[in-house]
Structure 1
Amino acid sequence: MPRIDAERFLKDLNDLRQIGKYKTGVHRPTYSPQDMESRRWLMERMAEIGLEPSIDGIGNVYGRHRGPGPHLLVGSHIESQNYAGWLDGALGVVAGLALARAGLPVDVAAFADEEGHFEGGFLGSRSIIGELSEEEIDRSRSRNDGTPLREALAAAGLAGKPRMQLEPGRHKGFFEMHIEQGTQLERSGLRLGVVTGIVAIWQWRIEIEGQQDHAGGTTMAERRDAGLTAVRLLAAIDREFPRVCGERSTWTAGRIILEPGAPSIIPGRADVLFQFRDVSMAVLERMEAALRALVQESNRNERCPATLTQIARATPALCDPAMMAALDQAAERHAPGLWQRMPSGAGHDAQYIAK
């Protein structure tokens, strides 16, 4: 049986960690100099192992196994969130290197912008399955500073390169090793999780219109405070969602902007970015119905009207039963009694490759 070189596996992880190092983590935003340095590093490691490395026009790095198949595709991403952890994504890519180094017939991929620094997100995995159009690339802007995606690609030296597509029939599956990004395993004293499915994330914008007024000269009875309406609506969501959600549902108001944002001015407008996640379509649809009903109720009771707009709607990705069974056996062999099946609460490239 092929054996993994654990020492080299850890060395590769720590070498990659030095690129864009920031305190105990890394800072490698998509297409930044640090990100592109990490992609060059990866291609060098692929070539050393005997894979055929390439980088395409969206920044995907791909190491093609030169021998006969059937092949397993292994990978994840190596860019990071801003000032973030060093194992997110990198673990899955370096795991692919370790499997290839052991002589197994694997292709290794590092997909671009899983972290969503640019509008649309998951640019690399969506591109490689044919779901990213040239028109979307033209429209996309950086969520950090508004830079057009086309400009970022040109600055990274990727302009004019063709975008690769997965070969139909080449791969028998896709494996993405990943950190949990949570505390369930650690809290339970477990070592491994076998993922049953990847949640879908449904994202919304809630816009609330009030009346901007002086904080001292406007009585409480006269006010149309968009900020307070937003707070009451979010509190109502937090009370109602436990009645309709699933066991592992989550919901988050990740950004709230009050305008004009001055301490002595009543907010005339509130802009809320809200999301919920689950692995079940039925649960997601119940949460959507509850959210719409709560916005309607707010509009009946409040003096500041709220508008609800959906800005992202994905489909949960369920994992292959045969792959899960194989991972169950491996988990029991390496960590007897110290593993569990569990859904992934974060989005991953695997949910697009699964299509």
Structure 2
Amino acid sequence: MSLDTAQFLADLDRLRQTGAYRTGVHRPTFGAEDMESRHWLAAAMEAAGLEARIDGIGNVLGRHRGPGPHLLAGSHIETQNQAGWLDGVLGVVAALALARAGLPVDVCAYADEEGHWGDFLGSRSLIGAVDEAELDAARNRHDGRPLREALREAGLAGRERLRLEPGRYKGAFELHIEQGTQLERAGMRIGVVTGIVGIRQWRITVTGQQDHTGGTTMAERRDAGLTAVRLLAALDQAMPMAAGPRSVWTTGRIVLEPNAPQIIPGRAEITFSFRDLSLEVMDRMEDCLRRTVQESNRRERCPAVLEPIGHTAPSPCDPTMRAALREAAEQLCPRAWTEMPSGAIHDSQILARVMPVAMLFVPSIGGISHHWTEDTKREDLALGLKVLAEGARRFLAS
């Protein structure tokens, strides 16, 4: 195994120019820049000796032509809007470097992990968890454009959607930036991921009475906006009693209707979510959420209705794969690595439904991600590749 870290870094720099935005990248799924990067990747796979295809949902899969056992490695290549240059792309380019080094690796860029059009459409399609009806209904989250239209414009309409071959893979690896501050704060250079957190997402709808801001007395008002604010404050106070040490909860969206300065809000819609690696902890957090909404409805004039809109179970990483990564990290950066959960969700979480998975983190400078200032030291990028390659080699030999 001979790793070319210089080529690995050059490939990252090359992709950074496609859709460049300030010091980051703007490359939303199925846009012109995204498709340029997918075609570049397919050509690079072929040059590395892989059999490359871009499928009907945009997945780019490069298959190793030799005998197994095989590994699957990769991540995503599109970005959030006006975001960073390493989120996702690091894992794809690292996987390509493993293939160039001679490891029996299939390399994949899973389409639309960033969710411009849906929920992990690429990786779910690869395991057979997306049907045509879902693709017919899918719309862009920003402008509502139909997915079918975007696929046609990207030249993907009519192409077959690939499926991962059952029994082909011993496991799947993914190298990623941490997207947090834990490694940097601890002075660590590598994070061996213990598991990927689950997420439970909810819609909370508060119903009041739309009315005039001047003519309606405070005693008469049923202000859905104020009830929503008080409910969220109560949740933030109650959640720590149910949460674990690494639990998080987020109010990602609040919409008031009619959202006008001279009108009392008659309706408020809240998107609320929480994450943890433990199902037991998540169950406690869900119970806390339900009880807090119940108490709000006892006290407030505006009733709140709680509705689940998306649940993803936690995915523990494979113990044997984790052990191989731990041994590699101790060999290459003794006492400068740690084990940690992934607070973000990744395609590996989808792949874990059909095969063993493992993830490896490198530090994010300042913990910044999903922003154009996202960055990682080049020496940490190179170290991450070396640990990934050595861990993959050890796991194949196990």
Q: TM-score scaled to structure 2, two decimals?
A: 0.87
CA distance in 2, matches of 1:40, 1:97: 14
Q: Deviations over 1:57-81 (max 9, x none)?
A: 1110000111111111100000111
What secondary structure does 2:175 align onto?
A: coil
SS in 2 for 1:221: coil
2:124 pairs with one of 118, 123, 126: 126
Which residue identity does 1:18 align to in structure 2? Answer: Q
User: What is the match of residue 43 of structure 1?
Assistant: 42
Aligned-partner SS, 1:35: helix
Which residue in 2 is equivalent to 1:73?
72
What secondary structure sits across from 1:341 in the alignment?
A: strand
Equivalent position SS for 1:197: strand
Matched residue type, 1:171: Y
Give the match for residue 87 of structure 1. Answer: 86
Map 1:106-255 → 2, pairs under 5 A: 106-119=105-118, 121-255=119-253
* 2:391 aligned partner: none
1:289 Cα deviation from its structure 2 partner:
1.1
Alpha-carbon deviations, 1:14-43, whole Å to 9, x = none?
A: 101111110111111111111111100101
- Paired amino acid for 2:10: K
Cα deviation, residue 192, structure 1: 0.6
Give the alignment's Cα RMSD to 1 decimal: 0.9
**Distance in 2 of aligned mates of 1:246 and 1:143:** 32
CA shift, 1:217, in A, is 2.1
Residue 63 (structure 2) pairs with residue 64 (structure 1): yes
Query: Does 1:330 pair with 2:316?
Result: no
Size of the aligned set, in residue pairs, is: 353
SS of 1:205's equivalent in the other structure is strand
Q: Which amino acid aligns with 2:161?
A: R
What is the CA-CA distance between 1:262 and the residue it aligns to? 1.7
Deviation at 1:340, TM superposition (A): 0.7
CA distance in 2, matches of 1:241, 1:116: 27
Aligned-partner residue type, residue 65 of structure 1: H
Compute the displacement of 1:296 (Å): 1.2
Instruction: Give the Cα–Cα distance (whole angstroms) in 2 for the partners of residues 201 and 264 of structure 1.
Output: 37
State the 1:216 CA deviation: 2.2
Q: Which one-letter code corresponds to 1:225 in the other structure?
A: D
* Whole-Å separation in 1 of the counterparts to 2:195 and 2:323: 14
Cα distance, 1:317 vs. partner? 0.6
Task: Give per-residue Cα distances to partners, 1:314-341, cap 9 Å, x unaligned.
Answer: 1111100000000001111121111110
Give the secondary structure class of the aligned counterpart of 2:340.
strand
CA distance in 2, matches of 1:25, 1:219: 50
Give the aligned residue type for 2:109. Answer: A
For residue 158 of structure 1, report the CA deviation from its aligned partner: 0.8
CA distance in 2, matches of 1:205, 1:34: 34
The residue matched to 1:202 in structure 2 has which SS? strand
Report the Cα offset of residue 313 of structure 1.
Answer: 0.7
Aligned mates of 1:24, 1:268 — CA distance in 2:
43
Q: Deviations over 1:176-201 (max 9, x none)?
A: 00000000100111101000000111
Once residues 295 and 254 of structure 1 are traced to their aligned partners in structure 2, the CA distance between those partners, rounded to angstroms, is 17
Distance 2:99 2:142 in 1: 35
CA distance in 2, matches of 1:71, 1:18: 32
Q: Which residue of 2 aligns with 1:104?
A: 103
Q: Which residue of 2 aligns with 1:258?
A: 256
Find the aligned partners of 2:170 and 2:184 in 1 and give their Cα distance.
32
Partner residue, 2:292: 294
Cα deviation, 1:160-191, whole Å, max 9, x if unaligned, reads 11111111111110000000000010011110
Structure 1 residue 3: deviation in Å? 2.4
CA distance in 2, matches of 1:333, 1:243: 40
> Of the candidates 319, 322, 326, which is equivalent to residue 321 of structure 1?
319
CA distance in 1, matches of 2:253, 2:311: 18
Deviations 1:257-286 (A, max 9, x none): 111112222111111111111111111111
Consecutive unaligned residues of structure 2, counting only runs of 5 or more, are: 354-398
Paired-residue identity, % = 67
**Matched position secondary structure for 1:10:** helix
SS at 2:268 equivalent: strand
Distance 2:153 2:245 in 1: 45
2: CA distance between counterparts of 1:265 and 1:338?
Answer: 57
Amino acid at match of 2:259: G
Please give the alpha-carbon distance, in whole angstroms, between the structure 1 residues aligned to 2:332 and 2:220.
Answer: 66
Match for 1:347 among 320, 341, 345?
345
Match of 1:20 in 2: 19
- CA distance, structure 1, for counterparts of residue 245 and residue 284 of structure 2: 13
Partners of 2:285 and 2:131 in 1: CA distance: 30
Give the Cα separation in 2 of the matches to 1:155 and 1:282: 45
Task: Give the letter for the 2:280 counterpart.
Answer: A
* Cα distance in 2, alignment partners of residues 188 and 3 from structure 1: 31
Tell me the residue number matched to 2:385. none
